[in-house]
Amino acid sequence: MESGFDTQALDYHTARALLEWQVELGATEAILDAPFNRYETPKETPKAKKAALPPADAPAVPQPAFDPVAEAKSAVKPVKTLEELRGAMHAFEHCQLKKGARNLVFSDGNPAARVMIIGEAPGREEDRIGKPFVGRAGQLLDRMFEAIDMGREVPLSKDAIYITNVLPWRPPQNRDPKPDEIAMLKPFLERHVEIVAPDVIVLMGNISCMAVLDKKGITRLRGQWHEAFGKPVLPMFHPAYLLRQPHAKREAWADLLSLKSKLEESV
């Protein structure tokens, strides 16, 4: 390759001066694979192309269906205490009943009690106060258990009762809970039973039987012992039903005696 300089005639100092002059001009490579014009204006970097939108008539990609029951199971998985359970229920946003309720109705009574009562859902008074069974039906419930020397406020845990509901929020107009509402909140109820670990469970009313036993027909079910959550379970008439049908109090009294006998057997 020809050059404008006779490289054989250059002495060291001249060659170094020429090299430094090229460095000052911006030369960074001594030898390149191809000629490079450093005075050429650089071209603009090509812009990235936008992703093409799908055609208007393209079929929609199906999204995975939301499963509130799975969400509830996930919410209760780390729960170990009643306080944690209350917090998990309070944070659960997938039940529409919560939006129309005043209070979360969690429980009442002694958590160390041998008997756990599961009612249906809060009514107007329960929603206002935030405790289960505080209206007329609740007052009758207290009198029923006082008749067999038990209650929610007795000093000894062996004679105490612990009360909760299938649903912690009041349905509008006191309507019956819907099957999907029961299903999504049942994981909370299951964990509630696991934490309290009662000796016996009493199901008050038809809705409680549907939620726990997957059976309905309280007239047929009451007074017959069943098993659920690994515990003996006794269905009974709901106190609200007894207020409307006083003649059924005889069957309710027989059920209370059966409960008392079961507790004495297991001492």
Mean pLDDT of 134-161: 96
Contact between 113 and 160 under an 8 Å Cβ cutoff? The reply is yes
Token reading at 250 = 């005889």
Give the dihedral sign, CA 167/172/178/180. negative
pLDDT at 36: 61
Q: In the numeric block, which tokens belong to residue 133?
A: 């069974």
For 106-130, give the DSSP string.
Answer: --EE-TT-SEEEEES---HHHHHHT
| Tens-digit pLDDT profile for residues 177-227 | 999 999 999 999 999 999 999 999 999 999 999 999 999 999 999 999 999
In this predicted structure, the answer to whether residue 4 has a pLDDT above a threshold of 60 is no
- Segment 42-98, tens digit of pLDDT: 566 556 566 666 676 767 666 667 899 999 999 999 999 999 999 999 999 999 999
Encode pLDDT of 10-50 as tens digits. Answer: 677 677 777 776 666 666 666 666 666 666 665 665 565 66
Measure the CA–CA gap between 74 and 72, rounded to whole angstroms: 5
* Per-residue confidence (pLDDT) for residue 80, from 0 to 100: 98
Q: Letter for the amino acid at 49?
A: K
Helix %, strand %, coil % of the chain (to 5): 45, 10, 45
Q: How many residues does the chain have?
A: 267
Angle at 51 between CA 47 and CA 56, to 5 degrees: 145
In the chain, the DSSP E strands lie at: 108-109, 115-119, 161-165, 200-204, 226-228, 231-236
pTM score of the predicted model: 0.76
Q: Which two tokens stand for residue 70?
A: 């799975």
At 195, list the tokens: 């934490």
Q: What is the mean pLDDT of residues 104-113?
A: 98
Report domain 68-265's class: alpha beta
